[in-house]
Protein backbone atom coordinates (compact mmCIF):
# COMPACT_ATOMS: atom_id res chain seq x y z
CA UNK A 1 0.00 0.00 0.00
CA UNK A 2 2.75 2.43 1.01
CA UNK A 3 4.87 1.50 -2.03
CA UNK A 4 1.86 1.96 -4.26
CA UNK A 5 1.16 5.40 -2.77
CA UNK A 6 4.77 6.54 -3.15
CA UNK A 7 4.76 5.20 -6.71
CA UNK A 8 1.59 7.18 -7.52
CA UNK A 9 3.08 10.34 -5.95
CA UNK A 10 6.28 9.94 -7.92
CA UNK A 11 4.27 9.47 -11.13
CA UNK A 12 2.37 12.73 -10.47
CA UNK A 13 5.58 14.78 -10.51
CA UNK A 14 7.21 13.19 -13.58
CA UNK A 15 8.24 16.04 -15.89
CA UNK A 16 7.15 18.67 -13.38
CA UNK A 17 9.12 21.11 -11.28
CA UNK A 18 8.14 19.74 -7.86
CA UNK A 19 8.57 21.63 -4.60
CA UNK A 20 11.81 23.57 -4.92
CA UNK A 21 13.07 26.19 -2.42
CA UNK A 22 10.83 28.98 -3.72
CA UNK A 23 7.71 26.78 -3.72
CA UNK A 24 8.47 25.61 -0.16
CA UNK A 25 9.07 29.22 0.95
CA UNK A 26 5.72 30.28 -0.53
CA UNK A 27 3.94 27.32 1.08
CA UNK A 28 5.51 28.07 4.48
CA UNK A 29 4.50 31.72 4.17
CA UNK A 30 0.79 30.84 3.75
CA UNK A 31 -0.09 30.58 7.50
CA UNK A 32 1.02 34.15 8.33
CA UNK A 33 -1.51 36.08 6.20
CA UNK A 34 -4.11 33.39 6.94
CA UNK A 35 -3.72 33.96 10.71
CA UNK A 36 -3.88 37.72 10.16
CA UNK A 37 -7.16 37.22 8.27
CA UNK A 38 -8.57 35.27 11.24
CA UNK A 39 -7.33 37.83 13.80
CA UNK A 40 -8.59 40.84 11.81
CA UNK A 41 -11.93 39.31 10.79
CA UNK A 42 -13.95 42.00 12.56
CA UNK A 43 -11.68 44.98 11.80
CA UNK A 44 -12.76 47.55 9.17
CA UNK A 45 -15.83 45.61 8.11
CA UNK A 46 -13.84 42.49 7.23
CA UNK A 47 -11.87 44.09 4.41
CA UNK A 48 -8.49 43.44 6.10
CA UNK A 49 -9.54 39.85 6.69
CA UNK A 50 -10.58 39.44 3.06
CA UNK A 51 -7.29 41.01 1.88
CA UNK A 52 -5.06 38.77 4.00
CA UNK A 53 -7.11 35.67 3.15
CA UNK A 54 -6.67 36.51 -0.55
CA UNK A 55 -2.92 36.92 -0.05
CA UNK A 56 -2.68 33.53 1.65
CA UNK A 57 -4.67 31.87 -1.17
CA UNK A 58 -2.48 33.52 -3.83
CA UNK A 59 0.66 32.23 -2.06
CA UNK A 60 -0.86 28.74 -1.77
CA UNK A 61 -1.97 28.56 -5.41
CA UNK A 62 1.30 30.10 -6.65
CA UNK A 63 3.26 27.43 -4.78
CA UNK A 64 1.09 24.62 -6.21
CA UNK A 65 1.25 26.10 -9.71
CA UNK A 66 5.07 26.21 -9.51
CA UNK A 67 5.25 22.61 -8.20
CA UNK A 68 3.10 21.28 -11.05
CA UNK A 69 4.59 23.47 -13.75
CA UNK A 70 6.21 21.72 -16.72
CA UNK A 71 8.31 24.77 -17.68
CA UNK A 72 11.35 23.44 -15.85
CA UNK A 73 13.85 25.98 -17.16
CA UNK A 74 11.70 29.00 -16.21
CA UNK A 75 11.00 27.64 -12.72
CA UNK A 76 14.71 26.84 -12.26
CA UNK A 77 15.66 30.43 -13.20
CA UNK A 78 13.06 31.82 -10.77
CA UNK A 79 14.34 29.54 -8.01
CA UNK A 80 17.99 30.54 -8.59
CA UNK A 81 17.00 34.23 -8.55
CA UNK A 82 15.16 33.61 -5.26
CA UNK A 83 18.13 31.77 -3.71
CA UNK A 84 20.44 34.72 -4.42
CA UNK A 85 17.92 37.31 -3.15
CA UNK A 86 18.42 39.18 0.16
CA UNK A 87 14.99 37.93 1.36
CA UNK A 88 16.05 34.29 1.18
CA UNK A 89 19.46 34.92 2.71
CA UNK A 90 18.09 36.92 5.66
CA UNK A 91 15.24 34.46 6.35
CA UNK A 92 17.57 31.48 5.98
CA UNK A 93 20.14 33.09 8.30
CA UNK A 94 17.48 33.90 10.91
CA UNK A 95 16.16 30.32 10.82
CA UNK A 96 19.68 28.95 11.22
CA UNK A 97 20.39 31.26 14.19
CA UNK A 98 17.06 30.29 15.77
CA UNK A 99 17.72 26.56 15.37
CA UNK A 100 21.22 26.88 16.91
CA UNK A 101 20.28 29.33 19.68
CA UNK A 102 20.27 26.56 22.31
CA UNK A 103 24.01 25.98 22.01
CA UNK A 104 25.31 29.26 20.58
CA UNK A 105 24.92 33.02 20.98
CA UNK A 106 24.97 35.23 17.92
CA UNK A 107 26.41 38.73 17.79
CA UNK A 108 26.85 41.23 14.99
CA UNK A 109 30.37 42.55 14.59
CA UNK A 110 30.28 46.32 15.31
CA UNK A 111 32.91 46.83 12.62
CA UNK A 112 31.46 45.03 9.59
CA UNK A 113 27.93 43.93 10.72
CA UNK A 114 28.80 40.28 10.02
CA UNK A 115 27.01 37.69 12.20
CA UNK A 116 29.38 35.83 14.54
CA UNK A 117 28.59 32.60 16.41
CA UNK A 118 30.11 31.81 19.83
CA UNK A 119 29.34 28.96 22.29
CA UNK A 120 26.92 29.72 25.12
CA UNK A 121 27.89 29.74 28.81
CA UNK A 122 31.54 30.82 28.48
CA UNK A 123 31.09 34.03 30.52
CA UNK A 124 32.54 37.34 29.31
CA UNK A 125 34.77 36.63 26.34
CA UNK A 126 36.63 38.62 23.76
CA UNK A 127 35.23 37.90 20.31
CA UNK A 128 37.51 38.31 17.32
CA UNK A 129 35.86 38.89 13.94
CA UNK A 130 37.60 36.78 11.27
CA UNK A 131 36.20 38.98 8.50
CA UNK A 132 37.50 42.43 9.50
CA UNK A 133 39.82 41.68 12.44
CA UNK A 134 37.76 43.74 14.92
CA UNK A 135 37.59 42.54 18.56
CA UNK A 136 34.90 43.20 21.15
CA UNK A 137 33.82 41.80 24.53
CA UNK A 138 30.41 40.20 25.13
CA UNK A 139 28.79 38.00 27.77
CA UNK A 140 27.85 34.59 26.44
ZN1 LIG B 1 33.82 42.30 11.52
Same domain, 42 and 81: yes
- Please report whether residue 2 resides in a domain: no
- pLDDT of 92: 86
Structural domain including 119 reads 93-140
Q: What's the 106 CA to ligand 1 centre distance in angstroms?
A: 13
DSSP 19: S
- pLDDT of 11: 85
Q: What's the 30 CA to ligand 1 centre distance in angstroms?
A: 36
- Please report whether residue 4 resides in a domain: no
Q: Is the dihedral of CA 115, 119, 120, 121 positive or negative?
A: negative
Same domain, 26 and 79: yes
Same domain, 125 and 68: no
How many structural domains is the chain composed of? 2
- pLDDT of 29: 92
- pLDDT of 91: 86
pTM, whole model, 2 decimals?
Answer: 0.69
Same domain, 60 and 98: no
Q: What's the 87 CA to ligand 1 centre distance in angstroms?
A: 22
Helices (H), 13-129: 21-29, 31-39, 47-67, 72-83, 86-99
Q: What's the 126 CA to ligand 1 centre distance in angstroms?
A: 13
Q: What's the 57 CA to ligand 1 centre distance in angstroms?
A: 42
> Do 33 and 52 meet the contact criterion of CB atoms below 8 Å apart?
yes
Residue 33's pLDDT band (cuts 50, 70, 90): very high
Amino acid sequence: MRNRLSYLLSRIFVGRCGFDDLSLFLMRAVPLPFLLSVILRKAAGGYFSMFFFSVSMVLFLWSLWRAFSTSLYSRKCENEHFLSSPIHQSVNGAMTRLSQSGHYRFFRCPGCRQWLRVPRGKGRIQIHCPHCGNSFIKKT
